[in-house]
């Protein structure tokens, strides 16, 4: 689209900002590659600066575009923007459906369904009405603006959810709403676009269009997801690198088929296809998820940079105050009313509904659809396309900044912070990790993430939440919902990997309590790093992953429980200071209906039940299993042995 004002080098108003001609990127390929590099750099910077990545993408795009330094000649790639936006939206929504928490959505379906109806309706009416009053937009174009800003932002809300560690119910409601409102909102916007293009369209025709698009998108998405699951489960695509590329091609095919039958039905179709796919029993579905998640993040970031570079900043400045007033009305009137009416009669409390009332960011889907529609309006010579785009971007930018910064303080103030402090995620423990989890499961909720397929399959058959995957990849921590747990136990066979995973769990998923195992030769090397990430050394001693897992696989271990008596010399002793014979491995301490993990600074108390694994042939009858530092008498009572 052409800017309302010529670029800076033509007006001379920002002559000092003109770069050397050699730095200007004028070819379509160069502009696209530059957008990719800038997007990735902003993503890295956002991780270090603890800022929303979307804010940096927008700022970078504006600075590099025609109204900044004009390094990127966005007009070179403008003819391809329509295609890029559509294909990008298809993958973003397909990946969203693939990761949609269907169980949580079912639990809060009543709240989400009301939000999907009330929030877009109120946003469109209030936002559109104010846009017509405060600007020169016609009623039809103003209502189109209201429909556009009703589209949510899963790419924004998901990082906010992870950062704030909010309650499970709120997570399910917000993620479900953000995913579904993207597709339903996109369909609403295309219907409103028809009103702008064909004024005077009858309400009956509008409803018919809506129902038709929902029916076509849902049907094609369900059938496409089912067919793709059969293809991915077939022998000819099993365990090959073609699985990811085939699912990408199929997702685009589903989108194009539905879109060819009814415009914009493709967005709902790919969302439904992703949701259907995740319900099917598909081997190694995590590889497909990983590929889609990486591609989705790249597409989101590149689209934001390109769209921001194409913004008309002169028009944005002209519509700044109307945009801010409209945003204030949406935040203080439209969203609170829809959240209150949606939460009535549900299991959500007042604090949770209050949090919902002040959490509705907009993201890349709204921006991309707006850019697409602005192109269409400009091609039809319909006035108001630039003002429409500027108003939508003002709402997006302010919402991202506001919600990104207030989410955590608001969650603390309303006391809706989540994360079950009693839940445990055991990472990479192999068979010993499985045994530890079974002990802890008597008192706590336990999840597992491991590369060992046999261990994971056995745990799944036992009813545990267990995911096979590499914990060094954040995707698998997302799949197992690491942001929900209160404790992470990292016990792979590599001390270096354990600390990398621990830092990832701490920095990216904000797990409050982290335990790591350390191999004997790595004690001194890693002690400083353990303190830096505020982790605890599990077992308070060096841990031999290879030895203990080998003994477990050979079924040479038995459980033993010993109780610390009132007069025991262990009372008050630190785990790091006591002596433990070779062939004995303490797993957990049962105290007052709690299952606790031993670590360096853990101190024994009278009445503690110490659960251990041991090699029975290495232990003599009546032999003390845990010895205090100064004496050779433990004062513990032997309990019955049982096979592991």
How many CB atoms within 10 Å of residue 475? 17
Please report the pLDDT score of residue 337 as a whole number: 94
Q: What confidence category does residue 632 fall into, taking pLDDT thresholds of 50, 70 and 90? A: very low
Average pLDDT of span 259-275: 85
Q: Any idea of the CA torsion for 98, 104, 108, 112, to the nearest 10 degrees?
A: -20
> What pLDDT score does 522 carry?
66
Reduced to 3 states (helix: H, G, I; strand: E, B; else coil), residue 515 is strand
For position 514, what pLDDT does the model report? 94
Residue range 310-346, pLDDT digits in tens: 887 888 888 999 999 999 999 999 999 999 999 888 8
pLDDT at 425: 94
Cβ within 8 Å of residue 145, ≥6 positions away: 127, 128, 131, 137, 388, 391, 392
Q: What letter does residue 644 receive in the DSSP assignment?
A: -
Tens digits of per-residue pLDDT, 544-587? 888 898 888 888 888 888 888 888 888 889 988 898 888 888 99
Q: How far is CA 560 from the centre of its chain?
A: 41
Q: What pLDDT is attached to residue 3?
A: 41
Q: What is the mean pLDDT of residues 369-387?
A: 84
Tell me the per-residue pLDDT of 390-417, one tens digit each, with 9 for 90 and over.
999 899 888 888 887 788 888 888 888 7
Angle, to 10 degrees, between the axis of helix 53-64 and the axis of helix 285-309? Answer: 40
pLDDT for the residue numbered 11: 39
pLDDT over threshold 70, residue 451: yes
Among 44-48, 342-346, 397-401, 619-623, which is the least confidently predicted range? 619-623
Q: Return the pLDDT at 644.
A: 35
pLDDT tens by residue, 599-610: 989 999 999 999
Report the share of the chain in percent with pLDDT over 90. 21
* DSSP class per residue in 62-114: HHHSTTTT--B-GGGTHHHHHHHHHHHHHHHHHHHHHT--HHHHHHTHHHHHH
Cα 517 from Cα 538, distance rounded (Å): 5
Dihedral angle computed from the Cα positions of residues 9, 11, 16 and 19, in that order, rounded to the nearest 10 degrees: -10
Above 80 in pLDDT, residue 268?
yes
Q: Are 560 and 614 in contact (CB under 8 A)?
A: yes
What is the average pLDDT across 416-422?
A: 67
Write down how long the chain is.
644
Q: What structural domains does the chain harbor? A: 8-414 (1.20.1530.20), 420-545 (3.40.50.720), 556-643 (3.30.70.1450)
For residue 365 the two structure tokens come to: 């889907």
> How far from chain centre, in Å, is Cα 277?
19
Task: Indicate the range of 35-44, 50-59, 299-308, 533-542 predicted with least confidence.
Answer: 50-59
Q: Note whether 93 and 363 are within 8 A (CB).
A: no
Q: Report how far residue 100's alpha carbon sits from residue 180's, in angstroms, rounded to the nearest whole number.
A: 9
The secondary structure element, H or E, covering residue 292 is helix 285-309
Burial status of residue 544 (CB atoms within 10 A of its CB: 0-12, 13-18, 19 or more): middle
pLDDT of residue 16: 39
- What are the backbone dihedrals phi and psi of residue 636, each rounded to the nearest 5 degrees, phi first? -110, 150
Instruction: Confirm whether pTM is higher than 0.75.
Output: no
Q: Is the pLDDT of residue 533 over 90?
A: no
**CB-based burial, 367-388: b 16+ in 10 Å, e otherwise:** bbbbbbbbbebbeeebebbbbb
Q: 636 pLDDT exceeds 80?
A: no
What average pLDDT does the structure give for the chain?
A: 82
The answer to whether the Cα torsion of 72, 77, 82, 83 is positive or negative is negative
Select the more confidently predicted residue: 221 or 240. Answer: 221
- Burial pattern 508-523, b for ≥16 Cβ within 10 A else e, equals bbbbebbbbbbbeebe
Q: How confident is the model at residue 106 (pLDDT cuts 50, 70, 90)?
A: low
Query: Sign of torsion, CA 154 157 160 165?
Result: negative
Beta bridge partners of 529: none
Segment 217-232 shows an average pLDDT of: 90
pLDDT tops 80 at residue 508: no
5 has pLDDT over 80: no
pLDDT of residue 238: 62
Residue 50, number of CB atoms within 10 A of its CB: 9
Q: What pLDDT was estimated at residue 287?
A: 67
Confidence of residue 194 (pLDDT cuts 50, 70, 90): confident
């Amino acid at each position: 689209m052409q800017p309302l004002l010529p670029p800076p080098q033509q007006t001379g108003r920002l002559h000092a900002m003109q770069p050397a001609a050699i730095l200007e990127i004028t070819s379509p390929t160069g502009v696209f590659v530059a957008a990719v590099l800038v997007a990735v750099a902003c993503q890295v910077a956002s991780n270090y600066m603890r800022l929303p990545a979307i804010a940096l993408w927008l700022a970078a795009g504006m600075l590099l575009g025609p109204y900044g330094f004009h390094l990127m000649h966005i007009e070179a790639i403008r003819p391809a923007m329509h295609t890029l936006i559509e294909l990008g939206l298809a993958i973003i929504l397909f990946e969203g459906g693939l990761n949609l928490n269907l169980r949580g959505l079912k639990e809060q379906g009543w709240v989400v369904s009301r939000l999907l109806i009330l929030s877009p309706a109120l946003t469109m009416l209030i936002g559109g009405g104010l846009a017509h009053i405060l600007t020169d937009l016609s009623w039809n174009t103003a209502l189109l603006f209201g429909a556009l800003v009703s589209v949510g932002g899963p790419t924004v809300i998901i990082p906010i959810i992870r950062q704030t560690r909010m309650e499970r119910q709120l997570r399910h409601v917000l993620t479900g709403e953000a995913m579904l409102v993207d597709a339903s909102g996109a369909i609403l916007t295309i219907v409103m676009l028809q009103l702008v293009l064909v004024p005077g369209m009858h309400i009956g025709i509008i409803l018919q269009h809506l129902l038709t698009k929902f029916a076509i998108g849902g049907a094609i998405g369900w059938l496409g997801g089912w067919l793709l699951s059969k293809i991915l489960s077939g022998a000819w695509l099993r365990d090959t690198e073609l699985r990811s590329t085939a699912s990408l091609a199929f997702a685009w095919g589903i989108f194009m088929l539905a879109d060819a039958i009814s415009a914009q039905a493709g967005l709902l179709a790919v969302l439904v296809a992703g949701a259907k796919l995740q319900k099917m029993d598909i081997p190694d579905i995590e590889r497909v998820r990983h590929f889609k998640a990486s591609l989705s993040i790249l597409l989101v970031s590149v689209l934001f940079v390109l769209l921001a570079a194409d913004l008309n900043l002169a028009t944005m400045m002209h519509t700044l105050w109307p945009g801010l007033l409209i945003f204030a009305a949406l935040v203080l009137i439209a969203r609170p009313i829809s959240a209150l009416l949606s939460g009535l009669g549900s299991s959500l409390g007042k604090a949770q509904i209050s949090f919902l009332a002040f959490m509705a960011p907009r993201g890349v889907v709204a921006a991309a659809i707006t850019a697409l529609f602005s192109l269409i309006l400009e091609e039809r010579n319909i006035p108001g396309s630039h003002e429409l785009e500027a108003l939508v971007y003002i709402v997006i930018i302010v919402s991202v900044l506001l919600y990104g910064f207030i989410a955590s303080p608001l969650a603390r103030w309303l006391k809706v912070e989540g994360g079950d402090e009693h839940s445990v995620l055991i990472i990479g423990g192999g068979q010993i990790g499985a045994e530890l989890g079974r002990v802890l499961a008597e008192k706590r909720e336990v999840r597992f993430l491991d590369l060992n397929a046999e261990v994971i399959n056995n745990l799944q058959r036992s009813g545990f939440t267990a995911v096979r995957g590499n914990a060094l990849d954040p995707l698998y921590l997302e799949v197992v919902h690491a942001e929900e747990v209160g404790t992470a136990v990292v016990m792979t066979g590599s001390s270096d990997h354990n600390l990398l995973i621990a830092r990832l769990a701490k920095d990216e998923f904000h797990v409050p309590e982290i335990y790591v195992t350390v191999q004997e030769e790595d004690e001194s090397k890693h002690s400083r790093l353990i303190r830096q990430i505020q982790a605890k050394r599990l077992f308070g001693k060096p841990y031999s992953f290879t030895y203990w897992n080998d003994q477990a696989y050979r079924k040479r271990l038995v459980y033993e429980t010993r109780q610390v008596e009132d007069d025991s010399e262990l009372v008050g002793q630190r785990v790091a200071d006591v002596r433990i014979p070779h062939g004995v491995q303490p797993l957990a301490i049962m105290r007052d209906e709690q299952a606790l993990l031993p670590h360096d600074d853990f101190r024994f108390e009278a009445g503690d039940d110490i659960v251990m694994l041991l090699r029975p042939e290495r232990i003599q009858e009546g032999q003390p299993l845990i010895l205090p530092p100064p004496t050779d008498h433990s004062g513990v009572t032997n309990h019955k042995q049982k096979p592991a």
